[in-house]
Structure formats: structure tokens, C-alpha cells
Chain A
């Protein structure tokens, strides 16, 4: 399908991989895209490897099969690389975005990968600094916007603020923390030279 982007999120149960996919769908829809977001359901338990998926397109999406060859893979927990093949189905020009303090070059060496594009951002540290908890999915959205160009940054900041304003009207620090997390990750995400 033309104009179709498929994304796979890897995380651990309880880490917010499902929420990340839902947030991305919401953000992309705010830009007028057609969206899908769905998790992979198995025996859910805290800490177990989980996946979730997105489809984004300029046109209505009718596909209802699994995502098997995503063009973008986002890894919320870098320790997953020891147990899960996060590159599975990713084409040669596909992009991998890791939540890690390592540089893309260090990450490439660590997983022994040749080809494909690697991006890294220390989303956990950013989340701790800005939101006060290790919830990497919000900053990962900012990093994803920069690394892939899939989302419009200004629009995303505007939408995030608008959305959180309703829920956290009495706690403006939550809203600003999340906005700051996205901004910082957008600025700090690193690609390869």
C-alpha cells in the first residue's frame, strides 16, 4: 500500500508500549493521517517482552493482519536485545530507535548489526528529569518525530499540551513536564554520521 508506514514497538509489560502506540496514533491523527494502533496480546505479565504496532497513512487503512515488516522499530527497553530479535522483518533502509544512553555506533556494535539506520536517545533519563518517573514513551515520541519525520514537531507539542490540559488542569507541572520531555528528546536524539 502506498503511503503506508508500519511501526513496531518493543517494551516490557507495564512499561507503556501499548500506550506509546496509542499516543502515536492520536498524534498522527491530529495531523490528518489515518491511523491504527494495536498491541500483541499474550499472557500479560509485568516485565515480559511485549510488542505493539502502528499503521499510519494518508489514506484509509483496511489492513487487519499483523505487522511483520515494519519500516520503523522502537525499543523502549534496551535489555530486550538479549532475548528478542528487534530487527526481525525490518528492511535494509528501516530505522531502529533505542531508548539507551549509548550512541548509535555503540549500539550497533553491541547488537552486531550491519545496515539499517540506528537512532538512540536516553529517554529514561529524560523522563526521570522532566516527568519524575521512568516513563520513556512520551520522550520517545519526540525522538521518533525527529528521527523519522513522521510527525510534525510543533503540532505534536500543541496537541500534547491541549490533551493533557483537560486531564491535569490542576497539575500544570505534569503538562509542562511531558512537553519538556518531548522537546528534550527531539533535541537529543542521535543518528549516525
Chain B
């Protein structure tokens, strides 16, 4: 192994990235399984290895509020949360986005109560899909680390807040081989933050959070929407700079053995890694199967998705959450809507899996491909939405 690997959990990795980023302010409140990120980072603060002003708040709502205040003052700001914590931040998430504050947040995907459960699914961030934050999902510890470092630059260039997610326990508490970037190179890559506005800049006063009724609210919202579209151009630029510098290449989507695939699955997060093993095994037996891994969920890269899946005959979207809307998961609805662009479209079905941390193993993923091949052969899908690995 020519490279210098270390063994770290997802949470340790996120804390190390935060140390290297050395934000001006971190305001946070603990919640399983994200607690360790800020706990380890708080030790860095106590040891004086970072210059961060650490604010221990009494709730996630207050944590996000403090982040918003600090970011409006022109600081580079980070926090971290999960599940109920993200839910409690809700109204402040919209405000951070509306005020165009580039707050960076490692978010550990955990399901929402009730029933109470600490394990992984994507319900928390999927619920926050319309709050105006950029969302990037991570397959493994390495990707989580790389995503978080890129996130600082993306947020500051797009002037939008960003969350980088890891699958709860599977990645957050799973130790894997990963490669860290030297501190100095992270510092150089993220550069110095020069905010466009700062409430502390008394020579250039401006108003934050003013009343904005029927006269201008729509224009300001329209500008925010445009900023999210603009982020579609910024993200690949940052990814390219990162790839050139550190050798690991990323895009909004990752295509895995997809170019000649007849049936494919679309997956987010850690499950993509397991699916790669299934796809390799099936390919060895001559099955034309592939995968699209969706990395950037917000802004939604529908152009890339449509292009990558245009020649697939049958597609299954794997959702690790359900919209509880009677039509399956949120990723399914969005992908299906995007694919309507095509005159000749693949058949698209939905599998909701892994709710509350339910294991998704090789056999379950393989069963999806078996179903898809059957649909390709018969032209008929028995169900539009299926629930994978559940007793019913």
C-alpha cells in the first residue's frame, strides 16, 4: 500500500475534518449517533489545537440560531446533528438558507420517532429536502471526509448552507481504512473565508432578517432558488479542484457499471458499497446490471440522472425512507419525475428498505435485480412500490 491509510470511524473522521477546517464558531447540542463528532471536536477546542469559539447550547434550535448569528457576523461556522435534533432545528434551517449563510453541518442519518429508534434511515434529511440546504450523501468514511472538506468551499461559493450526511452507526460508528489530507493542504484548499457581508463591519451596515412582504419577498426567494441552481455549476468545479489536488474524483452522481446496463438501481449512502459487491457478482455471471449512486441530492442533479439512465430498460429506486404519502419514497418520486423528460423511458419501480436500521444484505439487493430482470422480460411490474426486508 503506497498510500498512508489510517483506521477511523465516520464520526472521528468528521471531527478530524472539523479540526483541519478550524471554523471560527461551532455551536452544537449532542444527539446519538452524531454526539461524538462535536464531543471529539470539543476536546480539540479544550486542547487549544483549534481557534474555534465553541458554544454549548441548550437545544438544537438554539444551536442553529447561534450558528445563524455567528455566520451573519461573517464567521466560518459549523455544527452537527442527527434525527430529532435536525427536526428541532427546522424553522432555523429555513432561515439559515434564506439569509444565504454558508453554515456547514455534518449530519448523521438516523430515523425519526415514533417508534423511538436510534438507527439509520434517511427520514431526517429527506424531511429537510425543501429547506434550501445543499445535501451531499456519503458512501463510506473516506467519502464523508472528502465531502466535508469540499462542503466548506461549496457553501461559501454558493452562499448556501450545506449538510454532509453519513449513515448512522453504519458509517458514523464503523471504523474503516481511510486516507487523511495533511492539515496544511486542507487549509490551502479551503482558503480564507471572506464574507460578502458582515454585521460586524460597521463601515458597511446592512440589514439581516428584515420584514419582506408582498413587495419583495418573491424576488428574494427567486434569488435564493437561483442560487441553488447556480450551485449545480459550483459543485463540479470544487469537486474537480479537489480531484486534481488530492486524486479522488467525485461528481454529483457516480455511475457503477452503468453504461451498458439493462437493469439498474439508484441508491444513496452506504448501501451503494454493498450493492457494488452484488453487481460485481452478477456481472461475472453475465447479467447486465448497474447502479447510479446519487451523491448530491440537493441541488437535485436531474440532468445527469436522465442522461445516465436514458438507455436502461428497468430501474429500481432504493429509498431509505418513505414519504408516508401512499406513493413510496421521496427519491423515487423525484427520479420518476425527472425521467419523464425522456420520450422512451425505463420502467421505474421503488423499493423502500432499511427503515430504523433494518439490515440490507447482499441477498436482498440481489432479489431486487432478480425482480428487475423479470420486469424487463415480461414488461410487467407487479407493484410500483415494494418494501424490502419487512415482515408483512
Contact = CB atoms under 8 A, between A and B. Distances in A.
Interface stretch (B16-24, B51-59, B266-274): B266-274
A118 B381 CA distance: 49
B119 interface: yes
B200 interface: no
B361 interface: yes
B175 A41 contact: no
Nearest to A53: B174
A66 B361 contact: yes
Interface size class of A (residues with CB under 8 A): 20 to 34
Main secondary structure of the interface of B (DSSP, over half): loop
B359 A65 contact: yes
Contact of A29 (B5, B169, B360): B5
A36 interface: yes
A1 B1 CA distance: 19
B170 A64 contact: yes
B177 interface: yes
A185 interface: no
Given A36-B174, A36-B176, A41-B169, A64 B7 contact: no
B140 interface: yes
A65 B359 CA distance: 6
Interface stretch (A55-63, A103-111, A144-152): A55-63
A58 to B, nearest CB: 10
Interface residues of B, number: 29
Contact of B175 (A38, A62, A64, A68): A38
A127 interface: no
Interface string A31-68: 01011111101000000000000000000111111101
Contacts of A32: 1
B277 interface: yes
Interface string A6-46: 00000000000000011001100100101111110100000
A41 B110 CA distance: 13
B118 A62 contact: no
A42 to B, nearest CB: 9
A134 to B, nearest CB: 25
Contacts of A65: 274, 359-362
B281 to A, nearest CB: 9
B262 interface: no
Given A25-B7, A62-B277, A64-B167, A35 B359 contact: no
